[in-house]
Chains A and B, each alone.
Chain A
Amino acid sequence: MSAPLHPGYADDRVRLLIEKLPCRETQLNTLLALMGEPEQYCYPSIFIYGHRATGKSYVIQTLLRELELPHAVVSCVECVSAGILFEQVLRSFFGSAYSSSNALPRKPSLSDFIRLYRQLCVQFPATQTRYIILDKAELLRDMDANLLPGFLRLQELVEDNVTVILLSEIVWDKFRPNTGCFEPLLLHFPNYSKAELQQILARDTHPAYSPELYSSYINILLGVFYSVCRDLRELRHLAALNFPKFCEPLETGEAKEKDAHKLWRNIEPQLKKAMQTVYLREVSSVQWEEQQSAEGEVAELRGLSSHDHVELPYYSKYLLIAAYLASYNPARTDRRFFLKHHGKIKKTNFLKKHEKTSNHLLGPKPFPLDRLLAIFYSVVDSRVAPTASVFAQISSLVTLQLLSQVSHDDQLDAPKYKCAVSLDFIRAIARTVGFDVVRHLYDFLLRPDRHADRACRRVTTCPLLLILSRRTLSFQMYAGPPLACDSPIPAASRFLRPPDVSEKMQK
């Protein structure tokens, strides 16, 4: 008889595990080797990182479940306070013993937890290594400062056979507290390759169709989506959404399972459309399905971002325009725009160097309330009494998140605001009241030092134009998994200048 795959664990169990966790064999073996036999002490803390949907939690959880090892799974996002975390750990290790015996105090600290753990541990000593799995461990950093270091050397503190496994999408370097701590073992889960994705996705075949058909479907799907999305979960979702459409010709009898080309021609445009709509959640999945079933007569579904129109009261519109002007024009140019006899701005060094770069690239700047009102009164075409409702409108614009208050809420004296809307938006608003907002923006003014200016602008906008030309593409690149960026996609798109403006700049 050959040597066991991993001592301490039954071979068939391990085989089953390997069967269940495709494409993660190496990681599995490393983990099993690290864990050693159930009774042996394991390394105190293990840190596992990898992108979204690379199977971190799934591997760990299946492993511990299948091998029937004592473990506690805690998602840190759920733990709004440390108390919940402690309680979940204690509950899953000691069960009823915990609740009957003395509970944690109201605001438990780490030492309370350790004290209680040790008490319970005396009653129920560990026969096998206990595992604590902390999912989304990056959130531990925001909790008490001693929590993360404490958990890293928990084995030492409670003097029990316990191992903490941290799961995160962020590398360990970003965790390391500056006071120093116990270094955990690092384990990386790499992204799935295309072939691996294909292998995994092809496993869940539709019961009504042959596995080969499904596999070819997955092949087509990956062909379209792989460049954009490597998130397994998302891909599975998309596969499920679009499969009925793929099977449509088969059901109507137009094609057979062998006619790969025909099937491909049928599904390909559909998938492309899905990439632009349902993948970005412009269209919700249910709407997508409804649209598919009611093919033909249904008009084009409008995406979420197309609902950008906002109705505002008349003066609110002008207030918003004034806020936009105040945010994007340097304060010194106000004379130029809002005084009758302003004269020409002649000096080339009128503005400081940093003001020469386009303000639209730098983002909105804060402005005080006085300036907003001054611009408002010169912009609005009729005489407006400074009534309470004008001020009320400013605060309601802040609640609507069209303006944002920069200064602290308590500062009643001279509050400062920023304008939080895009150029597109403000132009649409300005059009409804017949106000030419672009003519009042310093960035779009042809300045006397035209040549230097133009050159400078070309430099600053060139990369942007590049992005613009591949706007949709870049959209997806932002969304794609290679960047685990937290910023929402539309926000990314908002940095891009609208095409028509950039054309104007090129002239």
Chain B
Amino acid sequence: MAAITASISKGCFVFKPSIKKKKRTLDAEDYFINGSDDCENGKQRFLLCQELWEDMKSETESVQDDLNKKVLDSLLEFARKSTSSFMSREEDWASHMRASEIPVAALVLGVNLTDHNMTFQSLSDRLQNSVTPFVVSVQAKECAAVKYLLQKVLQRLTGVSVDKDEEETSTDLPPNSAHCSLRSLCDWYKTVCKNSSGSSPGEKRSSSEMEFSANPPIIVIFRDLEAFSPRVLHAFILICSQYTQQLPLLFIFGIATSLSTVQRMLAHSVTSLLCIKLFQFSSCTKHLATVIDKLVLTPKFPFKPSGKVLQVLVGLFLYHDFSVHNFIKGLQLSLLEHFHDQPLSVLCCKKQEAVVRAQQLNHQEVENIRQLPSFMRFVEQQEPQEQVELLTSDEHVKEVCQKLLKGLHRYHKNFFPILRCLHVLTSSLPKYPLGKQIRELHVTCLEKDVWETEDYESAMQLLKILAKDELLTVLQNCVETLKSGKTKELRDALKHLQDLKDRLQQLDAFTDPSALGGHVEGRENECFSENGLQKKTDLFQLQKTLLQMKECRKTKKRSPFELLRNETIEYIDSLVKMHLTRPESQPLYEVCYCTSSGTLRHHLNATPRTSIQTALAHPYYYLQNEALRSETGAISSAAPDICIVYKLHLECGRLINLYDWLEAYCMVVTAADGEDSDPSEKGKFDEIRRACFIRAVSELEFLGFIKSTKQKTDHVARLTWGGC
């Protein structure tokens, strides 16, 4: 290279990058392979991960379709109806009299703006498939003025690209401005309709065109109504209203907040031109609940997020964005994390496959298994003979591993139905001791053994005082939820519960409830009558009577219903204790559970301020330079200037004297250099140092830690507190 550039005269030399050297961009698979030592393993995990994600993705899509099907269908119906009313307009007296209004469908979609794109995409697809080929969707940021809005609408409808004013393209096109009026749209529409209703089915849209009615409506979708400027909308609606006789227009407003924004944005003179119908989409919390139900609370997918991970994701959803789309992305990220970081995730797949894979484990992987905490716990519980076997023989580990994997799958199959069962039982209780939503209960169950919590206790207490009809309905619900269970245990449980329910129902037939009630009341009356004698009650006596009453209750013979009720609750309790153990207690749970909630939070919930502070306070964290690895508190002179300046400023008060600061800075820097300062140079600072200092200070100012103040000229004001 030196040879080429060796030239007598100065000059610039251009080196084109040689093609060979071009870096191949890494795709996801490479990361997987590079990240692990075992190439084969990495590849396998990557494939598994992709496969699993495809399944989950299709599941979420179907969930979304189902959820909004009803609303979308009614919207399509509305669009069709508005067309037919356009056709039959001429003759009727009433329609002649009525002011011509533009039909408007107002879609209230919720504040999760990121999710809207998908909805609108599916909406416009459906409209195009079944109602009309003329669907335009516009966004506020494209339409700063009416001119642009009109341009966009026309462009997308007619498919002709209208060029920007500057560009001169084909000369035979009429001038731009003329092209973009609704009048030209009208002409275009007439010709299109004539063509389609006329003959020549051989044209491009032949087959689909036939399905539409003679005058398919022109649908304009305003994706984000709130962001549109009211003036633009105003003008556009006024213009369109002049053409309602010729064009079957239909607007769709995508509203994120509430319907009243329409009134807030548009004047009465404009809203009186519209005929608004409301379509309310299902709320995002409901959407989330279904997504969790379908993706997480099911044994269908072997991958499971741990309680912490779920908390991070749900917390992000509830506290920050309400976006289901982001939730699903977060889930995808945790899936990737899991398959990337956990080498044993090769076993995270369908049962049969996992068993086969377990058979093919190599020595390294078996060693990995032995290192798993859950497996070590498992080993400790075994007989000494077995322990030795497990620690020495790979083959034996593989066999045990297969058994354990089967056990894990079985555990999941039992876990979720019982979880639902418990939720059904407790969700109707007052104050929701175990959470209103099933996801809360789920997280509790993942974190710890649920029966050890106080909330569970109180829930059981409440269950034990349920009335008969309530108990029957919740039992019925339980039976319904358990019916989907396939394992032997669940079938047994179902049978038992059914049996209990039948017995409860038959109770009516055997005992006369009134007699029973009378009996109990009688006993209680006895208690009371005893007390009733003592007219004057003081505190002591009150206590005594209460104690007596308690005794009275205890000794009281329980009715058959109460006995049965207790039996039922105890049975459910035993079910919970058997099946709802926390996943950590299961050996090999690490295979399926993603536990890296920290990284997830780190990636999803970015904290710019904290990272800046970390960078300034601990430069080693980012720079990874050994010289910077200092003991806490000390200011290393090797650190970048800004770090030194930052650390020094932490020690100051509200106002910082720049000169003192500079002195301190020079002290730190020179101290490290080891030169003892020359007495003659004292007070005079090296110019380079001063420049470094000034630059660091202005960088700090740029980052917003200090600002100049008018109170004192040679001072700056500090803007942040703490962190010293």
Contact = CB atoms under 8 A, between A and B. Distances in A.
> Does B associate with A?
yes
A377 to B, nearest CB: 12
Contacts of A393: 320-321
Given A106-B165, A311-B284, A80 B269 contact: no
Contacts of B178: 83-84, 87
Interface centre among A88, A280, A388 (most CB of B within 10 A): A388
B275 interface: yes
Given A204-B97, A488-B267, A287 B277 contact: yes
Contacts of A455: none
Nearest to B224: A399
B77 to A, nearest CB: 13
A233 B273 CA distance: 11
Nearest to A492: B268
A128 interface: no
B49 interface: no
B677 to A, nearest CB: 40
Contacts of B176: 106
B678 to A, nearest CB: 43
Interface in A306-324: 307-316
A75 B319 CA distance: 50
A296 to B, nearest CB: 22
A286 B277 contact: yes
A240 B263 contact: no
Nearest to B320: A389
Interface in A281-320: 281, 284-287, 304-305, 307-316
Contact of B97 (A240, A310, A392): A240
Given A84-B181, A312-B111, A314-B318, A400 B97 contact: no
B625 to A, nearest CB: 27
A400 B175 contact: no
A304 B267 CA distance: 14
B462 interface: no
B98 A285 contact: yes
A88 B607 CA distance: 58
Contacts of B285: 311
Contacts of B321: 313, 389, 392-393, 396
A77 B261 contact: no
Nearest to B166: A106
Contact of B276 (A83, A304, A396, A399): A304
B257 A310 contact: yes
B123 interface: no
A401 B262 CA distance: 12
Contact of A486 (B180, B267, B278): B267
B271 interface: yes
Given A309-B258, A390-B320, A488 B264 contact: yes
A387 B145 CA distance: 35
Contacts of B101: 284-285
A379 interface: no
Contacts of B610: 385-386
Interface string A128-155: 0000000000000000000000000000
Nearest to A204: B97
Interface string A385-425: 11111101100100111100000000000000000000000
Nearest to B230: A488
Interface string B63-99: 0000000000000000000000000000001101111
A399 B227 contact: yes
A489 interface: yes
A315 B322 CA distance: 11
B680 to A, nearest CB: 45
Contacts of B260: 304-305, 307-308, 490
B259 A307 contact: yes
Contacts of A304: 259-260, 262-263, 276, 278
Interface string B94-130: 1011110101000010110100000000000000000
Contacts of A87: 175, 177-178
A104 B176 CA distance: 11
Contacts of B259: 304-305, 307-308
A389 B605 contact: yes
Interface residues of B, number: 70
B242 interface: yes
B283 A311 contact: yes
B265 interface: yes
A240 B182 contact: no
Classify the secondary structure of B's interface with A: helix
Interface residues of A, number: 66
B174 interface: yes
A343 interface: no
B667 interface: no
A314 B319 contact: yes
Contacts of A197: none
Contacts of B177: 80-81, 83-84, 87, 106-107
A452 B678 CA distance: 71
Contacts of A468: none
Contact of B111 (A105, A314, A400): A400
Given A304-B260, A400-B111, A400-B257, A107 B98 contact: no
A454 interface: no
B113 A396 contact: yes
A78 interface: yes
Contact of B174 (A103, A284, A389): A103
B554 interface: no
B319 A313 contact: yes
A401 B261 contact: yes
Contacts of B283: 311
Contacts of A41: none
Nearest to B174: A103
A269 to B, nearest CB: 21
B1 interface: no
Nearest to B176: A106
Interface in A433-457: none
Interface string A191-210: 00000000000001011000
A234 B264 contact: no
A217 B147 CA distance: 44
Given A314-B319, A486-B267, A78 B181 contact: yes
B113 A308 contact: no
A490 B283 CA distance: 26
A491 interface: yes
A89 to B, nearest CB: 12
A239 interface: yes
A159 to B, nearest CB: 26
Contacts of B265: 488
Interface in B225-252: 226-227, 235, 238-239, 242
Nearest to B113: A396
Contacts of B113: 396, 399-400
Nearest to A206: B93
Given A388-B605, A389-B316, A400 B276 contact: no
Contacts of A385: 605, 607, 610
B143 to A, nearest CB: 12
A78 B236 CA distance: 8
Interface in B303-340: 316-322
Interface in A38-64: 52
B609 A386 contact: yes
Query: Which of B239, B268, B275 has the most chain A CB atoms inside 10 A of its CB?
Result: B268
Given A80-B150, A315-B320, A491-B264, A281 B272 contact: yes
Contacts of A490: 260, 263-264
9 contacts: A75-B242, A80-B180, A106-B176, A240-B94, A285-B275, A307-B278, A311-B111, A400-B113, A479-B268
Given A236-B97, A313-B319, A399-B256, 14 more contacts: A77-B235, A78-B182, A80-B146, A80-B181, A83-B177, A84-B177, A104-B175, A239-B97, A287-B277, A307-B260, A311-B110, A387-B607, A388-B607, A389-B606
Question: What are the 6 A-B residue pairs with the smallest beta carbon separation, nearest first?
Answer: A83-B177, A240-B97, A307-B259, A80-B147, A388-B606, A490-B263
